[in-house]
């Protein structure tokens, strides 16, 4: 194994040691004000960015920015062969930048884009689009792929599954996690929003989910038609209103599986991918905890499911 992978593996273990973890997230959810949350976040990796926050939403943004910063740090330690993995992992933030730009082009409020640095793949090109139609034209020239005009209303889902399939391709150790996330994206689109995934969405999730699920008429038959690794998060859910449970289970499973991989693995790309999964799961858990501050015990049920 190259010295670069050894260095990246050591670094990702060090970053993972700064997580809040289940216990920390529970403590965070129990504080009374977001100011107290800011003080608590300072004990973990989120402290630097949380110190600049001025609202609960800003604290959640700080958690996401911390994850992006961690990916950028890892890219500086990984060998050249690891650049594709780190960029694919960070593509979730480029996706968010693209969606934010679309909202602005459609007359919504502008949001500060994430600072991708060397992690960007297409953002410097896409940010110059002057209209949603022009943005779709530019997307077709990039790794994000074409967005057919009649699927423009499914842009967020197209970008999400494009990111996940791309990451699974360059990081095979993350394949099952990406498949679960893809399944959750499709389930929300089909059963929570009541819209049928367009041809481009169906084509892009094919490598991870196959196509048997396309014939499903309800959530249970959908879950049953998924590959075994992707269906576990759905359990016995019968109602789209319970999909939040599937999300929490998805992150809980990723956390436990990545913990085992990190503990047992030897230095190399799989250990780095496992570390990235732990960091992503922690950022999600911290955001869920912030959302429940001051909302009572019932609002923290999502953390119970994710534990």
- Asked if 219 and 276 count as a contact pair (C-beta separation under 8 A), the reply is no
What is the model's pTM?
0.94
- Asked if 287 and 186 count as a contact pair (C-beta separation under 8 A), the reply is no
Residues in the chain, pLDDT under 70: 1, 295-307
Number of compact structural domains in the chain:
1
The 10s digit of each residue's pLDDT in 196-224 is 999 999 999 999 999 999 999 999 999 99
The 10s digit of each residue's pLDDT in 130-160 is 999 999 999 999 999 999 999 999 999 999 9
- Please give the residue range of the domain that contains residue 260: 3-305
- Asked if 191 and 240 count as a contact pair (C-beta separation under 8 A), the reply is yes
Structure tokens at 223: 């879950």
- Asked if 154 and 197 count as a contact pair (C-beta separation under 8 A), the reply is yes
- Predicted confidence at residue 54, as pLDDT, reads 79
- Asked if 121 and 94 count as a contact pair (C-beta separation under 8 A), the reply is yes
- Predicted confidence at residue 52, as pLDDT, reads 79
CA distances in angstroms from 113 to 93, 97, 135, 233, 239, listed in the order given: 9, 5, 16, 31, 35
In the DSSP assignment, the letter for residue 194 is: -
Number of residues written out for the chain: 307
- Predicted confidence at residue 1, as pLDDT, reads 62
CA dist., res. 302 & res. 307, Å (int) = 9
């Amino acid at each position: 194994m190259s010295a670069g992978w050894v260095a990246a593996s050591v670094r990702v273990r060090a970053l993972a040691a700064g997580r809040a973890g289940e216990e920390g997230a529970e403590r965070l959810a129990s504080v009374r004000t977001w100011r107290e949350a800011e003080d608590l976040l300072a004990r973990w990796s989120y402290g630097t960015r949380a110190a600049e926050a001025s609202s609960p939403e800003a604290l959640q943004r700080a958690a996401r920015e911390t994850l992006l910063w961690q990916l950028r740090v890892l890219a500086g330690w990984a060998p050249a062969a690891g650049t594709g993995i780190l960029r694919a992992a960070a593509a979730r933030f480029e996706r968010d930048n693209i969606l934010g730009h679309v909202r602005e082009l459609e007359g919504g409020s502008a949001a500060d884009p994430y600072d991708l640095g060397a992690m960007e793949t297409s953002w410097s090109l896409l940010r110059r689009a002057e209209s949603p139609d022009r943005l779709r034209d530019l997307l077709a020239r990039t790794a994000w792929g074409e967005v057919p005009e009649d699927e423009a209303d499914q842009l967020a889902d197209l970008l999400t599954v494009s990111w996940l399939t791309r990451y699974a391709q360059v990081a095979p150790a993350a394949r099952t996690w990406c498949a679960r996330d893809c399944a959750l994206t499709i389930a929300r689109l089909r059963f929570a929003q009541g819209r049928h995934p367009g041809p481009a969405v169906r084509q892009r999730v094919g490598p991870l989910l196959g196509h048997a699920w396309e014939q499903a008429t309800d959530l249970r038959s959908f879950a049953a038609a998924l590959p075994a690794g992707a269906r576990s998060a759905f359990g016995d859910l019968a109602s789209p209103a319970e999909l939040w449970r599937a999300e929490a289970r998805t992150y809980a499973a990723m956390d436990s599986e990545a913990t085992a991989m990190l503990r047992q693995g030897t230095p190399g790309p799989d250990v780095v991918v496992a570390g990235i999964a732990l960091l992503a799961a922690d950022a999600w858990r911290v955001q869920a905890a912030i959302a429940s501050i001051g909302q009572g015990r019932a609002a923290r049920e999502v953390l119970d499911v994710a534990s």
